[in-house]
Amino acid sequence: MTPAYYPSEIAGALHERWPAAGVNALPEQPVLAQFLSTIYQASLLREEGRPVECHVVLATAAQLAAPFPLPTGYHVVAFGEPRPWDEQEVRRLSPAVARPSTLLAVHQTAAGELVLWGLLVTDMPWDHLPGSPPPAPGEVPPVLVVHVQGPGTLTCYCGATRVLTLRAGRVDGHGFLQFPEAWSRGRFEEVPEEYARLSGLAQRPTAAQLGLIGLLGQHVQRRAVARVRAGGHGGLLVFVSPQAVAELLAPGGLLQPKYPTQELGTGARCGHLFLAIVQRQTELGDVSWAYYQQSRDATLRTLAAAVDHFADLLADLMAVDGALVLTKNMELVGFGVEIRAPQVAVDQVYRALDLESEQLHAEPADQGGTRHRAAYRLCLAAPDCLAVAVSQDGGVQLVHHHAGKIVFWSQLS
């Protein structure tokens, strides 16, 4: 049985996994446990009827100084006098730091006492927008940041890198913003040449252009899932091979959509948006994800808004009972989809303990909910499918078929 993790155990797990050293090393375990205990207790409180949610950074003013500015800068607001580091102080200040661009700043005094000494205010949310990749390593200082997401739910970062997430007493060693490479490697199709032709690209996309398209696809998936999580209703997102759509949707097939759509082929909006973004950034001379996020070009910002609106549409469609099905080229197939695989028996599934799914832990398949079991059966019956199951409590599982096993990543944040 997996043990429950609480502040002292989280401190130990952080020490084991912490990547930074020297001036950015973690404090000794008793101090770190005290820091985390206050945050944990604060997460259980409410301020004027609202749950406490905030970001906290454990760092001195010197650690937050140059040479680690965020791309758009940040500044520190120090209190005239340090405040006590306790859960009631965190509760009272939580409305002022509800946005991820404002963080409570805590440090350890020379006497060994933890105090709340100010605010770290960034021009860009520490997590960026929901569903966006985090800042690149080196763009933020490698200090401990803890995101309080709700009662007993904490995500710990080393700078921009997620180290672990605590939810319901369990620790996950990676967060949802880090898509596991093994989940999609070799599974998603390259952008069809027809898209490139219709979008005006003179030749097949370059490696850099395809890389940007891949990141755009991940952004759409993450944003849609983040919206579903925020809505608290859960959902199931399924990706299928474009070549398998006819067979899967045929009478008696595995997928029976209540609301089939007809966006297949060259009419797919998402593919056209991606190629339009690639074309515009090629014209502007920078085909990078960082430029996509930071550029103020009016055309690019309009296209980016359209991409986000498409992701929001996917989240809305996932709210309908049944699965939302897309091709791996992000073409809509249908929603309200019933997965018909009752004859497929799945007794055991495997939790991936690392991003590459090299370490697996066997678990009974019936531990998951209805959506999860449907995803397991589908991926076993149609091994080329990929599934994302979102629970009502906010947990996320990424499911696929790998080497004869149903493998999933439990993404808690």
Whether 323 has a pLDDT exceeding 90, the answer reads yes
- Buried-exposed string 243-264: b where 16+ CB fall within 10 A, e elsewhere: ebbeebbeeeebbbbeeeeebe
Half-sphere exposure of 244 (CA within 13 A, CB side): 20
For 182-218, write each residue's pLDDT tens digit.
Answer: 566 655 544 555 455 545 555 677 888 888 888 888 8
Whether 181 has a pLDDT exceeding 80, the answer reads no
For 112-139, write each residue's pLDDT tens digit.
Answer: 899 999 998 876 666 553 334 445 444 5
Q: Which of 197, 354, 326 is nearest to 266 (CA)?
A: 197
- Mean pLDDT, the chain, rounded, equals 80
Whether 355 has a pLDDT exceeding 80, the answer reads no
Residue in this structure with the two tokens 């006819």, named with its chain if needed: 246
Q: Which of 152, 144, 108 is nearest to 126 (CA)?
A: 144
Give the range among 29-33, 204-208, 270-274 with minimum mean pLDDT: 204-208
Q: Which of 275, 128, 129 is nearest to 191 (CA)?
A: 275
AA identity, residue 112: G
AA identity, residue 105: A
The mean pLDDT value for 19-41 works out to: 87
CA–CA separation, 168 and 261 (whole Å): 38
Angle formed at CA 91 by CA 89 and CA 95, multiple of 5 degrees: 115
For 39-80, write each residue's pLDDT tens digit.
Answer: 999 998 988 778 888 899 999 988 887 555 555 567 788 898
- Tell me, what's the pLDDT at 196? 53
Domains assigned to the chain: 7-172 (3.40.1700), 181-411 (3.40.1700.10)
- Tell me, what's the pLDDT at 137? 46
Q: SS3 of 269, please?
A: helix
- Neighbouring-strand partners of residue 166: 154, 171
- Tell me, what's the pLDDT at 97? 85
User: What percentage of the chain carries pLDDT values higher than 90?
Assistant: 27
Query: pLDDT band for position 302 (50/70/90)?
Result: very high
For 218-230, write each residue's pLDDT tens digit.
Answer: 888 888 988 888 7
The mean pLDDT value for 277-302 works out to: 91
- Tell me, what's the pLDDT at 124? 65
Give the range among 11-20, 161-170, 286-295 with minimum mean pLDDT: 161-170
The mean pLDDT value for 13-23 works out to: 82
